[in-house]
Structure 1
Amino acid sequence: MNQCAPAQAPWMVLVGPAGAGKTTLGREIAARTQRAFVDLDAVADGFYAQVGWSIAKLRARIAVIGRLAAEAEWEPARAHAVACAVADHPDTVIALGAGHTSYTGHQHLAMVRTALGRCHDVVRVLPSTQREISLTVLRRRCTADKGRSWIIDGHDFLAHWLDDPGTQLVATRTIYTSDETPAQTAARLLRRS
């Protein structure tokens, strides 16, 4: 059971698949609104450790049981990290890594929905209104920026995150970035806040 309970929620939380531009957009929005920016991927290790997990343990489990099964085992730690990040970072802009809104266990998704339900604005970031265009753009970005296609052990994680119903459930709205610069998307997003 998570003991994190926020007094005040983050100002905005960005969710979506890898390569969507959450971190870049989050930094731009934070700068424009004079708020702190938090990338959950950068601060989550301490939260994972609170429930007996670490990135090293995840890698070890991947080596033994494969990525998909290890991701399922890691769900409680991811959900805990989201709840604690929301609690620990009021009035900020937070970007959640792709897996932090994708769960097979109902109780973990429920925990994340409760935590994010306290947030006024949870924005799902996607490249396009069309699924196949989004998937192509995300794959191109991930391959170029991180050297990963996100197809691992025959499972397409990018498609999984793109189609994930949990991410759609936690979002209060979706923004499509198209060919805009992060500055253009941030300006458009803030006009509608």
Structure 2
Amino acid sequence: MVSNIILIGPMGAGKSTIGELLANQLGIPQCSMDELRLGYYQEIGYDEELAKQKRETGGLWSICQYWKPFEAYAVERLLSEYKNCVIDFGAGHSVYEDTSLFQRVQKVLEPLPNVILLLPSPDLQESLQILNDRNEYVPDGSPNINEHFLSHPSNYLLAKFTVYTKDKAPQETCNEILNLVLKR
């Protein structure tokens, strides 16, 4: 049996799509952090009204900063609860500016051999352009969140493998990941 396969990466990298393919091919469940996160956030006092206010006044960047302590907690909870699954993180669940939050996530991911960073390309500018196109990014004066996710060291420090998706069909990426995790 394969241990958890954790997919991390920026928004639009293909984590959910590839996660579904992997889960189907391996015959194991897929757990999507984006579907489960709110329940975990609420366990430690997540305030939906405050989040809404932050989103309205400060945009995506502001709410992403509010989510950080909730995201670290959600990672810990999800990984304590789900075993032998394909888990696709939300883009922010693997990127932390706060050292103590990063260390918490690093601690729970450290023993897991199959933490895979999905990126379009090894070239960060090319990756950003591909992701911006996929996400229909329109500059709004706020920092480009995917640019932050690509340039921040967290994903690179957490990942055991990096898989590039440019010019590959989702099934090709799935097969590449299967070759990585099954040969261990």
Q: Same fold (TM over 0.5)?
A: yes
- Report the CA distance between 1:178 and its aligned residue: 1.5
Aligned to 2:128: 135
- Kept in 2, the 8 Å contact 1:128–1:177? The answer is yes
Match of 1:31 among 14, 21, 24: 24
- Kept in 2, the 8 Å contact 1:10–1:89? The answer is no
Unaligned runs of 5+ in 1: 1-8, 144-148
Query: What root-mean-square deviation, in Å, do the aligned CA atoms of Structure 1 and Structure 2 show?
Result: 1.8
- Report the CA distance between 1:54 and its aligned residue: 5.0
Unaligned runs of 5+ in 2: none
- Kept in 2, the 8 Å contact 1:123–1:173? The answer is yes
Percent of aligned pairs with the same residue? Answer: 27
Paired residue type of 1:113: Q
- Kept in 1, the 8 Å contact 2:20–2:30? The answer is yes
- Structure-2 separation of matches of 1:114 and 1:55: 28
Q: Provide Cα deviations, 1:70-103, integer angstroms capped at 9, x if missing partner.
A: 4223211010011111111111000001111111
- Report the CA distance between 1:56 and its aligned residue: 4.9
- Report the CA distance between 1:59 and its aligned residue: 2.1
- Report the CA distance between 1:10 and its aligned residue: 5.2
Aligned to 1:164: 152
Paired residue type of 2:164: Y
Aligned to 2:87: 94
Paired residue type of 1:136: Q
Q: CA 1:116/1:130 → structure 2, altered by over 3 Å: closer, same or farther?
A: same
- Structure-1 separation of matches of 2:106 and 2:138: 25
Match of 1:49 among 10, 35, 42: 42
What's the TM-score, normalizing by structure 2? 0.90
1:146-165 counterparts in 2 under 5 A? 149=137, 151-165=139-153
Match of 1:80 among 73, 78, 82: 73
Paired residue type of 2:94: T
Q: CA 1:32/1:112 → structure 2, altered by over 3 Å: closer, same or farther?
A: same
- Report the CA distance between 1:151 and its aligned residue: 4.4
Pair 1:187-2:175 in alignment: yes
Aligned to 1:125: 118
What's the TM-score, normalizing by structure 1? 0.86
- Structure-1 separation of matches of 2:47 and 2:89: 17
Report how many aligned residue pairs link the two structures: 180
Provide the secondary structure at the position in 2 that maps to 1:192: helix
Aligned to 1:6: none
- Report the CA distance between 1:153 and its aligned residue: 3.8
Paired residue type of 1:154: S
Provide the secondary structure at the position in 2 that maps to 1:14: strand
